[in-house]
Structure 1
């Protein structure tokens, strides 16, 4: 498998300089800015079906493997000077920069290519609303049917015991 150095040895991705990843030559490995990591950089491996993020925090090495289907979409972020094309995740620390440029035509073309490549929607960051909260799985719910969960349990009561009486048994 061939690896590609995305920044060509210049500046790490996300440092304000130009970043151009070729979507047709995946997998690619590059460095990106990470404010929480040691040395403020993280290493990203981008494949067609997964993304691997490697970083060290307080000396502890970690590698996070995320499926591409877990990402929300591809979004365009930034101001008028330089805009960034980003692979957006629900957790902002897992979002991945794909392209930094000032050329609007180049950004629009790359936005469509990356979106089609990963089969993810093109997101408009300005109109984005927060996602709905996910429902958690309940352990008890899997054990009992829902209508039994609503039922009240019967009160235990003392049964009457008859002492010293004769039993009547019916025989056929």
Structure 2
């Protein structure tokens, strides 16, 4: 992996330059804003086949390794004065910013280049999918029989052929 310069990612605080990643200079490492991470920053490594997100959450370091094919596509989102180009994941917290620009021609060219490099579809702002539904919280196998009872055959509760009524019991004693 090549060594990346500091200008390839988000610029330091106070800088007026916006985020602009070059899709032709992959792999690239940069930092992005993450409200849930410690320090509000996550470190991202972009490659053609995989993406690694590194962040600390409540003091615990984590690295999430994702395939590019796990992402839905490259989307264009409109901000107040500029437009944001993002790599959209089903989980909104894993969505990755790629470019911020107020020049519409520049963002359109970058949008097409990122889509071609990652082989992902272009997702316009109005075609963005809803986030994935939350998983069920209850245990799906709770209503099943316990494992040791599964081996046993359930008996007949009421077998009418073996039911004897109004008969005297005969006990043979030696």
TM-score by length of 1: 0.72
> Which residue matches 1:82?
82
> Which residue matches 2:159?
157
> Which residue matches 2:122?
122
Change beyond 3 A, Cα 1:93–1:133 = closer
Mapping 1:136-151, distance limit 5 Å: none
Give the Cα separation in 1 of the matches to 2:47 and 2:85.
Answer: 17
Give the Cα separation in 1 of the matches to 2:102 and 2:87.
Answer: 18
Mapping 1:15-164, distance limit 5 Å: 17-130=17-130, 157-159=159-161
Give the Cα separation in 2 of the matches to 1:131 and 1:57.
Answer: 22
Deviations 1:6-53 (A, max 9, x none): 63587259x984111111111100011111111111100001011100
> Which stretches of structure 1, 4 residues or longer, exceed 4 Å deviation after superposition?
131-136
Give the Cα separation in 2 of the matches to 1:12 and 1:90.
Answer: 29
Deviations 1:104-156 (A, max 9, x none): 111000100100111111001223343786999x88xxxxxxxxxxxxxx987
- Work out whether residues 46 and 52 of structure 1, in 8 Å CA contact, stay in contact via their aligned partners in 2: yes
- Work out whether residues 21 and 98 of structure 1, in 8 Å CA contact, stay in contact via their aligned partners in 2: yes
- Work out whether residues 76 and 123 of structure 1, in 8 Å CA contact, stay in contact via their aligned partners in 2: yes
Give the Cα separation in 1 of the matches to 2:60 and 2:135.
Answer: 32
Root-mean-square deviation (CA, aligned residues, Å) is 3.0
Consecutive unaligned residues of structure 1, counting only runs of 5 or more, are 140-153, 161-172
- Work out whether residues 12 and 31 of structure 1, in 8 Å CA contact, stay in contact via their aligned partners in 2: no
Consecutive unaligned residues of structure 2, counting only runs of 5 or more, are 142-155, 163-174
Give the Cα separation in 1 of the matches to 2:135 and 2:39.
Answer: 37
Deviations 1:61-87 (A, max 9, x none): 000001100000000113251111100
- Work out whether residues 5 and 30 of structure 1, in 8 Å CA contact, stay in contact via their aligned partners in 2: no
TM-score by length of 2: 0.71
> Which residue matches 2:172?
none
> Which residue matches 2:165?
none
